[in-house]
Structure 1
Amino acid sequence: MDTKKMKTELEKRLKHPSRSFIFDREKDQLRIENIRTGKGITVSLPGIIAKWHEQKDQAIDEVVYFVEEGLQAMKEDQVHLTGNESKIYPVIRSTSFPAHSTDNVLFIFDEHTAETRIYYALDLGNSYRLIDENLLKSEGWTLERIRETALFNVRALPINMKEDLVAGNKYYFVRSNDGYDASRILNQAFLKEMEEKISGTMVLAVPHQDVLIIADVQNDTGYDILAQMAMSFFSSGRVPITALSFLYENSELEPIFILGKNRKKEK
């Protein structure tokens, strides 16, 4: 699979009379736009090709789903925060995630760690819309109100975990596939509850939006295993966040690099 073949395949799968395709040969990016509104989504082909070599058609299926849902969400012009308070959630994204929409409108977000930010989204069912300044102003809401509402809602989400014991270290996986698994890292009551269960060092990872990993690390091997897990999830996730892990100490998250047996806090 090369760039030309991937471009052709995506264009075939996403073809629609209301859409146009713009290929940036220099950046190896394909943009899918709504002809009427000019709004669209840009995907990087090398990343999709790399996933295709591991996952074959599943990698393309995920991209097509992401684009279809994203374009559908962009058509939802008449969305409202008021009356939909229970559908407002925080979403964790990397610090490299765009701060502005394709219309150059600033998204509403809070700084979280050196690796992550907290954006806010209105859940639309099968998709969501990130909340931007225009929506905030049109509804007369404040960032503080958005923040309080979103954090309240994420605390109310059910938490289903699976456990795995490897080389004396215990790993907990939160995977509800509701789009907000990584967001559960913002539930301080849950993190405190987990801290009480953990006898070793508490380390967390949010490699992509659909997983939160909590590790009870008892030995150096435990760090290495978590690093491998985080990198694997990061490489396969539809919305990657970070392959780095986080120490949880004194209710704070500290990004760490894990290299063999050495753990180094990020400055």
Structure 2
Amino acid sequence: MKPIEIKRLLDENLKNEPFITSFDRENETYRVVEKNTKKGLTVSLNPLSDKFKKDEEKALVEVLHYIRESVKAMASSVQIKGNEQRIFPVIRSTSFPTETSEGDLLISTEHTAETRIYYAIDIGKTYVLLTKEHIVSEGVSKQEVEESALFNLRSLNQDIKTDTVAGNTFYFVNTNDGYDASRILNDAFLKEMDERTEGQLTISIPHQDVLIFGDMQNERGYDVLAQMAFQFYAKGTSPITALPFMYDNGELEPVFIMAQRKPKD
């Protein structure tokens, strides 16, 4: 389904809600702003095309839920003190904005050449990304936010599903708690998976709701990995990167995978 068609569907379903919507044809993005607070979000429609083509009804429900909950979250007041246990890290691509549409600087930390870490406070069905204004107004330091986020991340369960393709094993974390991709920051978890694998460990975070480990045993595994990462990337509401990472001695290195060829160091 084309982005303009998705835009029309969203317009129809949001017409009776207190939102102002707009469509950027050049960038194929859909902007939703709450009328009273003037706060909102921008949704990239092109990555959603395949998802709508496969199951329009399901995709529409998911995107509408994402929009409504996100706008609601932006309008909510944020209180950090006393809610430290609800702070979590959120992974986004480096192309993701570093400030809100209102010009507030988002709290972030560099991660890899492809990704950046943001910090959020969980408010139930969604979360609010923390800004410099939030921590300054409450007298909290960035370091305290980072420490709380990583501590809370380690408390999340690691429910893993396994699949084997052409002699290569893939492990999927897909709990849909909003922090699946964030688990890539759990060093103990990564080391545990590294010890579990027999070949080269790869890690993929195509969108925020999935984390994929790969135990690469042969060249065919890299082809499968590249296709898998791209397919997940195309389907995600919040895509991050289609590039997998090689994990070696605690380091993550993004790799380009050429068809029928194993990536070189």
TM-score in terms of structure 1 length: 0.93
Corresponding residue of 1:175: 174
* Aligned-partner Cα distance in 2 for 1:4–1:245: 30
* Aligned-partner Cα distance in 1 for 2:200–2:27: 42
Range with greater deviation from structure 2 (13-22 or 117-126): 13-22
1:116-265 to 2 correspondence within 5 Å? 116-260=115-259, 261-264=261-264
Corresponding residue of 1:106: 105
Query: Cα gap change, 1:231/1:45 in structure 2, threshold over 3 Å: closer, same or farther?
Result: closer
* Aligned-partner Cα distance in 2 for 1:168–1:142: 48
Deviation string, structure 1 residues 167-200 (Cα, Å, up to 9, x no partner): 1111111111101111111111111111111111
SS at match of 2:158: coil
Q: Which structure is higher in RCO with an 8 Å CA cutoff and minimum separation 6? A: 2
SS at match of 1:146: helix
Corresponding residue of 1:85: 84
Query: Cα gap change, 1:17/1:159 in structure 2, threshold over 3 Å: closer, same or farther?
Result: closer
Deviation string, structure 1 residues 107-154 (Cα, Å, up to 9, x no partner): 001111110111100000001000011001011111111111100000
Query: Cα gap change, 1:100/1:195 in structure 2, threshold over 3 Å: closer, same or farther?
Result: same
Corresponding residue of 1:43: 43
SS at match of 2:255: strand
Q: Percent identity?
A: 48
Range with greater deviation from structure 2 (125-134 or 45-54): 45-54
Shift in Å, 1:38: 1.4
TM-score in terms of structure 2 length: 0.94
Off by >6 Å, runs of 4+ in structure 1: none
Shift in Å, 1:66: 1.1
Corresponding residue of 2:71: 71
Structure 1 unaligned regions, length at least 5:
none
Deviation string, structure 1 residues 200-228 (Cα, Å, up to 9, x no partner): 11111011111111111111111111111
Query: Cα gap change, 1:25/1:198 in structure 2, threshold over 3 Å: closer, same or farther?
Result: closer
Corresponding residue of 1:12: 12
Corresponding residue of 2:33: 33
Aligned AA (1:13): N
Structure 2 unaligned regions, length at least 5:
none
* Aligned-partner Cα distance in 2 for 1:50–1:232: 9
SS at match of 1:193: helix
* Aligned-partner Cα distance in 2 for 1:247–1:49: 29
Q: How many residues align?
A: 264
Deviation string, structure 1 residues 20-70 (Cα, Å, up to 9, x no partner): 223334444332221122112223344434432233222222221111011
RMSD: 1.6
